[in-house]
Structure 1
Amino acid sequence: MLSSISDIRRDYMLKSFDESHAASNPFDQFKDWWEEATSVEIDEVNAMTLATVDLNGKPSARIVLLKGYTHDGFVFFTNYESAKGQELQANPNAALLFFWKELERQIRIEGRVEKISEADSDAYFHSRPAGSRIGAWVSPQSKVIPGRSFLEENYQKLLLQYPDENQVPRPPHWGGYIVKPESFEFWQGRSSRLHDRLRFTQNDSGEWVRDRLAP
C-alpha cells in the first residue's frame, strides 16, 4: 500500500505565473485569480483552510468558508466559543490556504485576526437560511455532546421558540472575523515540480514588496 501511495503524482502543466503577469498589489492579484476561479466549475470555491495556534504552540487547521474580502482583509464566520475561536482569542495570528486544483493553484495568506463589527455580523447572520440561523444556537461548537439526538432535540425546541424564522436573533457567541494579511504567496503548479511562487510582504513603509521563491 505504501508504494502505491508514493506512486501517486501529477505533473502540473496548465499555466505559468511570472512577474510580467502579476499585479503589483496582492489584493489585486487575489481578485484576478478569484475571478478566474469563480468563472470555472470549482466546487465550493470559497472553501479555505484556516490554521490557528493555541497558547502551547500547538497548531490546528480546518476548512471554513470565505464570506467576503476587501483590501482590509478576508472575512469568515464562526462560533466565538469554538476551539478556533478560543485559539484566536489567545493568539490572533492565523494562516489561510486556498487550493484550486482545477487551476493548479494555491494562495497562502498569513496575518492577524480581529472580530468584525456586531452590525456586520448581524447583517450576515440574517442573510443566512433559517435552518442555519437556528443551528448557530443549537450547536455548542467543539464541545463534547452525548449524541446526535442532543442536536436534534435542541433544534426542535428552537423551532418552537422561534416559529417566525425572521425573528431568530444572532447568538452573542457567533459572528465574524477578518484576517488582515501581512503576507501573501501565490503558487502556480509547473512541470517537474519547478513551480512558480510569488510572495508579497510589506516593508517598513507599508508598501507591498514582491519576491520570487524557489519551489
Structure 2
Amino acid sequence: MKHLRFYFDPISPYAALAFERLPEALQGCSYSVEYRPILFAALLHAIGQKGPAEIESKRQWTFRQIAWTAHKLGIPLQVPASHPFNPLPLLRLAWACAPVGGTPNRLTVETIFRHVWQGEGADANAEPRLQALQEVLEPQRDPASEAVKEDLRTATEAALNAGVFGVPTIEVDGRMFWGQDSLDMLAAYLRGDPWFEQGEWEAAARPRPGVRRGTH
C-alpha cells in the first residue's frame, strides 16, 4: 500500500476538483491518504509568483476551464461570491478538527471543500456560514488557538521544504504530482507503469540552462 500526502488549500478550485475525483481516478489502487491543509498564498510569496486570480486574463481563463472541467466530470461546482478570499478561517478549522499530532480526515476536508465550491455561489467567509460550518464539524480544538495556527504554519513550511509549489499537490515516495490533471499520471505510477522506473521521470526534469529574464 502506498501512502499519499494530499496538500491543498480550499481557495483552489483545482484542489476541490482533484479531491472529488481522487477515488475514481485511483480506483483499484492500494493507497491511503493524509490530507494536509496549507496556505497557498505562502507558497506564492516564497516563490515570487502571483495567484491565477490575481492576473485578470488568467483569472478569466482559469474559471472558464474550471467550469468546463466540472461540467465534463459531472461535479456540481459553483464559484463563491468573492474570490480570491481569505482561506485562513477554513484552514484553521480543518486543523482544529484533527487530533493532536494528526491530520483532518476525508469527511472534514469534503465538508470544507463543499462549503466553498458547492455552496450555491455564497460567500465562503460569511460569518453565519462559517459559524454553521463549525457547528457541523464540531472541532476538537479552538480554531483560533495558537496550537492550531502553529499546525498550519508548520505544515506549510514543511510543504515548501519538500518542494511543493502549488495546490493541489500529491506526494508519494518523494515524488510530487501537481494539479488536478496529474491524477491519471499518479494512477499510472501507483499501478507500476514501467515509465517511472526507466529513468524517464528523472531525465525529463534535468536542467537545461538557457536564456533567463533579466540577463543578457
Please classify the TM superposition score into its range, dividing by the shorter chain length: under 0.3
Question: Which has a greater percent of helix?
Answer: 2
| TM-score normalized by the length of structure 1 | 0.24
| TM-score normalized by the length of structure 2 | 0.24
Higher relative contact order (CA 8 A, sep 6+): 2
Question: Which has a greater percent of strand?
Answer: 1
